[in-house]
Amino acid sequence: MQIRNTILSQSDLKILQEVILQYGRVITFTQLASLFEATYKRAAIRQKVALLAKKGWLVRLKRGEYLVITDISTLGSIDLSENVIAQFLNKDSYISFENALQYHGLFDQMLTTVGSVTTMYARNYAVQKTNYTFSHMKKALYFGYTEETIGSYKVKIAEQEKALLDMLYFKTSAYIVSIVLEKLREYKHRLDFEKLQRYAQKFGTGMVRIVGFLLDQIEVDTNVLATSVKQEKNSYNKLTKESTKFDAKWRLYYDPYLIT
């Protein structure tokens, strides 16, 4: 990939092009230093990296990791998909929640946060005007994603059914429940409800009750889910923390205004 340059020195231009050739556009300080060592003394390398970042040829993603800018017209700006950036920030993760729904065409509102799921430590990043959040998921529930190609990069993105379940698992608020129910109803013709119910069972009784209850609202057959929790008569769950009305079939407290 060639860099469109008008203000880089020839030596710096050559180094940045070599960096991209060897490592790609997202690189670490160590990788940069390994190439700068041939031209600059060790003490000057940090100053050179800082100067390139100040001029906009390098954009800091996180500590010790940078994006190389290849076009002078985008100096200092992220010119890669936010989903791609999220994958670079944490390679052991997949895009989920509203961001995955948006990728699949089920969500059209503007988002300022990219939400991902990881088996690693939960950690958040802020890169320019975008927040990147990583929610910790136990390994048994780290499934239901595919590897998609965005530009020339591979990105792991939740299937639409798994994204809905992740939303219910991590964000049990009335707002999130209303969004999930809206998507279940609006995209009933596009969702794989057999897969949704199969995945829900992997989460356990609580999720089965919630999904079963929501699917009943849109008249989807839930016999499989109902049978799987039929013997669980000594427990109950809540749709949200504020839920007060009881549904005997699912042994679930719910909010009446959410299902009108």
Residue 113 belongs to some domain of the structure: yes
Residue 207 belongs to some domain of the structure: yes
Q: Which residue, of 74, 95, 110, is where some domain finishes?
A: 74
| Position 202 in a domain | yes
CA 141 to centroid of chain Cα atoms = 15
- Which residue among 56, 74, 92 closes a domain? 74
CATH number of the domain within which 32 lies: 1.10.10.10
> What are the residues whose beta carbons fall under 8 Å from the beta carbon of 144, sequence distance 6 or more?
158, 159, 161, 162, 165, 199
pLDDT of residue 47: 87
The tens digit of pLDDT for each residue in 111-166 reads 999 999 999 988 899 988 899 999 999 999 999 999 999 988 999 999 999 999 99
Q: Say if CB 13 and CB 54 are below 8 A apart.
A: no
Report pLDDT digits (tens) over 199-248: 999 999 999 999 999 999 999 999 999 999 988 888 999 999 999 999 99
In a domain, 123, yes or no: yes
Question: Of 125, 160, 195, which marks where a domain is finished?
Answer: 160
Question: Which residue range is the domain that position 156 belongs to?
Answer: 82-160
Number of domains composing the chain: 3
Residues 56 and 101 both lie in one domain:
no
The mean pLDDT of the chain is 90
The reply to whether 63 falls in a domain is yes
1 within some domain: no
The DSSP secondary structure of 9-76, one letter per residue, reads -HHHHHHHHHHHHHH-SEEEHHHHHHHHTTTS-HHHHHHHHHHHHHHTSEEEEETTEEEEP-BGGGTT
In a domain, residue 165? The reply is no
Q: Which amino acid would we find at residue 58?
A: L
Contact 22, 39 (CB under 8 A): no
Rounded Cα gap, residues 203 and 165, in angstroms: 9
pLDDT grade, residue 25 (50/70/90)? Answer: confident
